[in-house]
Structure 1
Amino acid sequence: MIYENDQPEKALQVALIAAHLSPKDADQWARLANLSLESGNVKQAIACYSKAIQASPKDINLYELRAQLQEQNGDRRAFLRGYSKLVTQLEPEDGEYIVKCAKMLAKRYMQENNNEQALDAMENIFTKALNLITLEEVNIMTELLIALKNFQRCLDILTKYTSIWVKFEANHLEDNALKEKQLSDTIYKIKSCDIPEDVVVDLKAKFLIVLIELNEIDKAKNLLPKLYTKENPEISGDLFLDVAEALMEKNEFKQALLLLDPLVKSTNYSLAAVWLRHAECWAGCKDTKKAIASYEVVRELSPQHLGARLSLAKLYKSKNQFNKAIEVLKQDPQCDTLDPEVIYKRTLLLLKVRRYSEYFKSGMLLFSRHCATIRSKAELNTIVRATGVRQRLEALQLQRLSCGEKIEDENAPTFLNSAEPSESKEFSLFLQMGKLAYKLKKFGLLQRICFSALTSKKFEKKNSYIMFLCLIACIYNNDSFYGYNIVRELGEKMSFLTCTLCMQTIVLSLELTNMP
């Protein structure tokens, strides 16, 4: 009190000492929190409110004041922890506040996809505020239970708090080893059930999902018309889609189509995601023609959806419409972020229909992810003289810098960091391209393909083999200058036997090409 007028900071520090000496005085800590705020020390104010809460753990006002400061300070985690602790501390007489707090926590945790914590918050309502439970709380609770795959509990809540009814028949376990188990282990099968007209559409859909997930498919099929004939797909389309996806998980594609057909014909839900499910259902029903039609709509609505394009290409391929499959898988290197797996599959299709020029171009585009693009004959010499992939790439960079060129290729394509062909698949493609270039007598192209592969980290383990292929390419392309350098390199590294075999192959190649 002596320091309060002329030295407020010192007064605050002395008062903090006093509060620590009497820690159970919640009012004292609350006063210190206010003083800390006046001096601009938010962290200290939060700490003081925490001490006040320890002294008075059921004072709702203290929690709210601290929570406001925590959110203002950007400490979202502490904010949620504080309210979680408050909800567990409150008693049934604080039912209205329990409902308010628990719902707020559940919604925040659900935004973070933290369904376990959200369920913990909602459990407080269903244990401490039973008389205040409304359909809103039931809807949130059942949504969480479905997300966490606790379908039996979800069924219990739906039948307890709504007019939905279920009759069970008990089938006791037959296994002798399990006979001594308690009655709670009895398996219950649904004998009959129904959804009365007064049940709101959200809970109607959730009950259908629970039946499907509990493998009560026949019961769900009987009740499906109560959703798709009674409800408006323009308003409840998201619920139609949820039930349809649950049916698709059980391979009930024809039943799912009963819900998806109204959606794709609607105004609000004729979206790419819905058409995709529609296409997948027709594919599941083995109706390729209708599946293709739906996938084409997805392609039109969402041209960048590579998954849909891959599925569509697969369907065209199954009908031997390879050119259409190639068109579907086409990506623009100038505009698109390229998917390596899509390029790989399109490259194989181009070979199948003998569009060789596009095949080589597509293959080289795929390899450009890990192979340098050779710009001139001079760069071949740089690559041959260096040993090892890293040294070749460094030498190539120095060569380009000395010529005043940019190190990176202009307008180089960008690739997705997604699934890509395995090393063995890509190396097989490399060999396939080399064989075709040889067969078509495109020896310059063969040389370019082989020399580019020398700069690949992905093919580094195959370096000696690629070097030998480079030599063969040089022989067939009448390039004695680079061929000689490669022979010298191979001779230094190979064993006598390997070198002899190599030279025999070279002599044979020379005889075939009539080279001196």
Structure 2
Amino acid sequence: MDHYAAQRLLYEEVPASADELSDEEEEDFDRLVQSIRQNARTDASGLAHDWDQQLEAQNATFRDDLKAASGIGLKRANKGKGKGKRAPRAGPTLSHQVRALLGDGNQAYVDADLPAAIRLMSEVIRIEPRAASAWTVLAQCYADLNMPAPALQLRIMAAHLRRDPEEWIRLAQQSRVNGAAQQALYCYAKAYAADPDNVAVLWDRAALAREVNDLRAARASLVALLRRLPHDLNVLAALRPVLVELGDLAACAECYETAWKHYQEAFPTGQAGADGAVNPFGVLEILVLADLHSALGAHQRAIHVIKTGMRWLQGRGTQAYWDSVPDDREYDLPTMMTRPLNEGDIPPGYFPLDLNARQRLAVARIRMGDTEEGKLHASVVLAEEPTDYAPLFAEIGDAYFEKGLWAEAKGVYEVLGGDVGTSSIQILMQAAACYHMLGELQEAAEVYESVIQADPTLNDAKMKLAGIYEATGEVHRAYDLVCQVIDSRKRRARDPTDTREGTAREGTTDPNTSLFAEDRTATARKAPKPRTGLTRAQLEAMEKEREKEAAQGWARVKELWGQVVGGEEEGTDMEKDGDVAPPEADAVVSADAMDVDSEADGDVEAGNRPTQDDAKRKGKRPDRVTARREWLLEAEKLIEMFRETRRLFTTDRVNEKIEHFRTIHFDDWLRMTMQYCFLVTRDGDYPLAEEILRHMMLSNAYVSQARQNTLRIALATCAIAAQRFDTVVEQTRKVVYTHQFNDEPIRLLLASLASGLRPTDAFIRATLQKFLFREMKLRDAASVTPDLVRWVPGRRWTYAGGAGGAKGEEEDDDEDKGEKDEGSGSADRPPLPKEYSPVNMIAYGMTCVAARSYQSALVYLLHAYDYSPDDPVLCLLLAIASLGRAMQRQADNRHHLIAQALAFLSKYRAVRSGVRGGRGETDYNFGRAFQQLGLFSQAVTHYERVLKRAEAGETVVFVREAAYNLALIYSVTGARPLADGLYRKWLSI
């Protein structure tokens, strides 16, 4: 008789029972029966995959909410479940046939006729699976046949029909001995369900889950245990490494925060209570909580935890006034540097502080940018013996390194690297990186060489050393190292043995000895398959390395930027005092990079740049050209790193709370990208700049409207420099479309197409004219008759019922692709304008003037004049339109139009007369009007005034234009000598 008999005996269908079973154990029992029957058909071992899913759902009952586990919130009511052990369940009513078969089976067992007993009990189970005695006798038969595996499985089936927690515990222990870990976990879960007061079961289940690396099961057990033992520090100590490995640091910090509040209430003085109870929440727990907050980036909260927690443990919990002190003078040492105090300031407290806590303060202060305060604490820690506190030293050095304080970090790493007991590959690599960033290339090379000598397989050190060799001109040595790295990667690819797959797991048992898939862990539902990809640990290590590379590259980019724009003058730094400036403001400031000296317009290849050693030998810093080339190379590496990260360009991964990527703020990534695009556009590679900026618009990091505006304005800036005004119109038009009823985007569009033939051609295109016309009509309707417009959720205001410009809205379908508002509620709607603004009408009138449709221009400009009669631009436009219409043959009253033009010019002069440089401007425009009318004598008078004002030192914008027009008049009237004089004086280069 083979050991599959226990599975094959349930081959036939089980008839429906008259009893409706709703209990959880009976539901699990039914699923087990069905799974055993299905596996018996397919001759498979273990439970089916659908049972694995059901088991996961059953285990989910252990995964209570962590807030409830910490005492926050209400516990879910257990319907139908009492406290303590459950009473044994009475079996089902058995038919006479079943009772007769049971009697025959028991008699066969007593007579030692095991085959007959197995056959009879199997028939009983086929008829009535809930007959517990049949399962028990059948299990004993297999045990007598020396077949422990099926016997254990049958006892587990029988245990479902009783409510005996002790039986479940025995089954769990036996499964554990047999190596069936998942089966043991299941039995422990059933034991706890039968006796919820037995916390020892949860401890055993959590310990077993940790042994088999089933972290989710361990977390579920420990959280359930924490609900039974709220704020128990032993449970928290066991739960902490599990949550850390799962990456759920926030939940871990919340549990410790809640426990801390509990013990603060229980022990207000932080010392032993009145009943002699000792406060278990000590320095170690305070440090753990601070470390969790630091790991989450909440450095200010970590500082608060340390200061407040240590104060509470010292019995000074009532001294809350220390919280108002921005620094850490409460824990100053008498040997520290004296702080400058103003009148009324709280003097230093000189209270004792554990060295580990002081080190946490130092690291948190440094990482949050309070470097000077952090250095005070770091100096105390670094004064200790490094062999005794090597981990503390290393964390301080890493904090300095992350903030780009290379000199301070170098000093720490030198101390650690100088002792065999504290040195390591990581320490030496960090020290070499500090040397490199400080320009000490020879020292960096020596450290990298020692690292490679200690570990020849470390390709990262070889690549960094190759970069130093290249910078110092030792190209051949750099080439040799690169070849070694390439060969190493090829050998690794050809090596059929993959250590990442590991060997067979110890304790692996025959799958037929367990009801469950024993290779199933919390992180893998199916059996592991051979794979060539990287493991999670390797991916995390690779990501940390990339973060370090990004931080180093960003530090170098910031360092070089001041030289790129011509010095370290105020306002040229990419980042001031750690503050992140808004990128939309920086989009205009960074455009100054377009005006760098032409000497930097040459080849930007790395091979042609001078080395840093050359600059040292000359006794000066690298010149501007070299700094510019190096900046471009470093920025290009970082931008490609950003663009190659797929998760930054997936639309389903928008998380507004995340503002950093590889330690660099998204605004800094954006600022650097714009500056790089400005420079490459200046070098003549506009297509590359356009490609990068359009790609960045698709990133989920820049979905916010403010950042989209910044990118569009940056692209328009590059397009202006490259004379690509079709792109200028496209981007500025989208900004106008997005910011409905806002005048500033329209002014931006007009300023982007200020003057020139190509901008004018782009300005008078029919598509732009129609767009401005629709915006003008819609704004008029919204301000005069709001009932005619309606809000389209997630888009913009439009005509109600499709009236008035529905066709035009269809033409603009491409405008709103990707331009929808982030929300569709009423809070996201731009408010309807209360008053009509003439800016839309002036813009449309400008297009009509540029297209020489003067009559249409007069209609709309005169309408705008009713709203803004003192606008000098509007008055000048009306004068131009009137003169233009007067020069056309279709003009009805030419003299009236000329008089009207001069009237508007006079109004324009009156408005502009008080503005600096306004008189020269008005004289030029009057001269231009008289020149168009053929009144040369009047034109000459005004042009000469412009030139005289310029000679007198006044600010005049149109000096060359006035001189050129005056020279034309002199040439036409035959005064060539006067024209030549103007050419030589004003128009010569």
Of 441, 444, 448, which aligns to 1:295?
448
Q: CA 1:202 to 1:338, structure 2 compared with 1: closer, same or farther past 3 Å?
A: farther
Residues 362 and 377 of structure 2 are in contact (CA less than 8 Å); yes or no, is this contact kept in structure 1? yes
Alpha-carbon separation, structure 2, partners of 1:235 and 1:101: 30
Are residues 1:9 and 2:135 paired?
Answer: yes
Alpha-carbon separation, structure 1, partners of 2:283 and 2:401: 28
Are residues 1:107 and 2:241 paired?
Answer: yes
User: Unpaired runs of 5+ in structure 2?
Assistant: 1-89, 91-98, 111-132, 138-154, 265-278, 334-350, 494-604, 610-989
Deviations 1:264-322 (A, max 9, x none): 11121232211111111122222333323333322323333222222222222222232
Residues 401 and 409 of structure 2 are in contact (CA less than 8 Å); yes or no, is this contact kept in structure 1? yes
Partner residue in 2 for 1:149: 297
Are residues 1:85 and 2:221 paired?
Answer: no
Alpha-carbon separation, structure 1, partners of 2:413 and 2:255: 35
Alpha-carbon separation, structure 2, partners of 1:265 and 1:335: 30
Alpha-carbon separation, structure 2, partners of 1:310 and 1:166: 53
Are residues 1:205 and 2:345 paired?
Answer: no
Partner residue in 1 for 2:286: 138
Deviations 1:215-260 (A, max 9, x none): 111111233221112x221232222121111112211111212311
**Alignment-mate amino acid for residue 224 of structure 2:** K
Q: CA 1:195 to 1:162, structure 2 compared with 1: closer, same or farther past 3 Å?
A: farther
Of 369, 382, 391, which aligns to 1:238?
391
Alpha-carbon separation, structure 2, partners of 1:194 and 1:214: 19
Deviations 1:426-485 (A, max 9, x none): xxxxxxxxxxxxxxxxxxxxxxxxxxxxxxxxxxxxxxxxxxxxxxxxxxxxxxxxxxxx
Deviations 1:364-400 (A, max 9, x none): xxxxxxxxxxxxxxxxxxxxxxxxxxxxxxxxxxxxx
Partner residue in 2 for 1:253: 406
Residues 218 and 242 of structure 2 are in contact (CA less than 8 Å); yes or no, is this contact kept in structure 1? no
Query: Map of 1:296-311 to 2, 5 A cutoff?
Result: 296-311=449-464
Alpha-carbon separation, structure 2, partners of 1:14 and 1:328: 64
Alpha-carbon separation, structure 2, partners of 1:263 and 1:350: 36
Q: CA 1:190 to 1:319, structure 2 compared with 1: closer, same or farther past 3 Å?
A: same
Residues 222 and 238 of structure 2 are in contact (CA less than 8 Å); yes or no, is this contact kept in structure 1? no
Residues 29 and 51 of structure 1 are in contact (CA less than 8 Å); yes or no, is this contact kept in structure 2? no
Query: Map of 1:185-224 to 2, 5 A cutoff?
Result: 189-190=326-327, 192=329, 194=331, 199-224=353-378
SS at match of 1:278: helix
SS at match of 2:327: strand
Alpha-carbon separation, structure 1, partners of 2:228 and 2:608: 70
**What is the number of residues matched between the two proteins?**
314
User: Unpaired runs of 5+ in structure 1?
Assistant: 20-27, 171-187, 341-347, 353-516
Alpha-carbon separation, structure 1, partners of 2:175 and 2:417: 57
For the pair shown, the structure with the greater C-alpha radius of gyration is: 2
Query: Map of 1:67-78 to 2, 5 A cutoff?
Result: 67=206, 75-78=214-217
Residues 194 and 223 of structure 1 are in contact (CA less than 8 Å); yes or no, is this contact kept in structure 2? no
The two structures, once aligned, show a CA RMSD in angstroms of: 4.2
Alpha-carbon separation, structure 1, partners of 2:237 and 2:461: 38
Alpha-carbon separation, structure 1, partners of 2:421 and 2:485: 31
Alpha-carbon separation, structure 1, partners of 2:187 and 2:424: 53
Partner residue in 1 for 2:199: 60
SS at match of 1:331: helix
Q: CA 1:320 to 1:339, structure 2 compared with 1: closer, same or farther past 3 Å?
A: farther
**Alignment-mate amino acid for residue 370 of structure 2:** E
Q: CA 1:324 to 1:72, structure 2 compared with 1: closer, same or farther past 3 Å?
A: closer
Of 253, 261, 265, which aligns to 1:119?
253
Q: CA 1:76 to 1:339, structure 2 compared with 1: closer, same or farther past 3 Å?
A: closer
Residues 109 and 115 of structure 1 are in contact (CA less than 8 Å); yes or no, is this contact kept in structure 2? yes
Deviations 1:121-167 (A, max 9, x none): 43453244453112222232222221111212211221123269998
Partner residue in 1 for 2:418: 265
SS at match of 2:388: helix
Farther-moved stretch of structure 1 (117-126 vs 204-213): 117-126
Alpha-carbon separation, structure 2, partners of 1:332 and 1:45: 48
**Alignment-mate amino acid for residue 289 of structure 1:** Q
Alpha-carbon separation, structure 1, partners of 2:396 and 2:301: 19
Alpha-carbon separation, structure 1, partners of 2:227 and 2:470: 59
Query: Map of 1:65-464 to 2, 5 A cutoff?
Result: 65-67=204-206, 75-91=214-230, 98-130=232-264, 131-162=279-310, 189-190=326-327, 192=329, 194=331, 199-229=353-383, 231-331=384-484, 337=490
Q: CA 1:198 to 1:70, structure 2 compared with 1: closer, same or farther past 3 Å?
A: same
**Alignment-mate amino acid for residue 275 of structure 1:** L
Residues 233 and 262 of structure 1 are in contact (CA less than 8 Å); yes or no, is this contact kept in structure 2? yes
- How far 1:324 moved relative to its partner? 3.2
Alpha-carbon separation, structure 1, partners of 2:320 and 2:364: 12
Q: CA 1:17 to 1:107, structure 2 compared with 1: closer, same or farther past 3 Å?
A: closer
Alpha-carbon separation, structure 2, partners of 1:254 and 1:109: 36
Alpha-carbon separation, structure 2, partners of 1:121 and 1:75: 21
Residues 326 and 350 of structure 1 are in contact (CA less than 8 Å); yes or no, is this contact kept in structure 2? no
Alpha-carbon separation, structure 2, partners of 1:78 and 1:71: 8
Deviations 1:1-26 (A, max 9, x none): 9989974734879986765xxxxxxx
Residues 299 and 309 of structure 1 are in contact (CA less than 8 Å); yes or no, is this contact kept in structure 2? yes
Alpha-carbon separation, structure 2, partners of 1:216 and 1:291: 28
- How far 1:70 moved relative to its partner? 5.2
Larger helix share, 1 or 2: 1
Residues 313 and 324 of structure 1 are in contact (CA less than 8 Å); yes or no, is this contact kept in structure 2? yes
Alpha-carbon separation, structure 1, partners of 2:329 and 2:210: 50
**Alignment-mate amino acid for residue 151 of structure 1:** H
Alpha-carbon separation, structure 2, partners of 1:201 and 1:324: 46
Partner residue in 1 for 2:165: 30
Residues 166 and 194 of structure 1 are in contact (CA less than 8 Å); yes or no, is this contact kept in structure 2? no
Q: CA 1:135 to 1:284, structure 2 compared with 1: closer, same or farther past 3 Å?
A: same
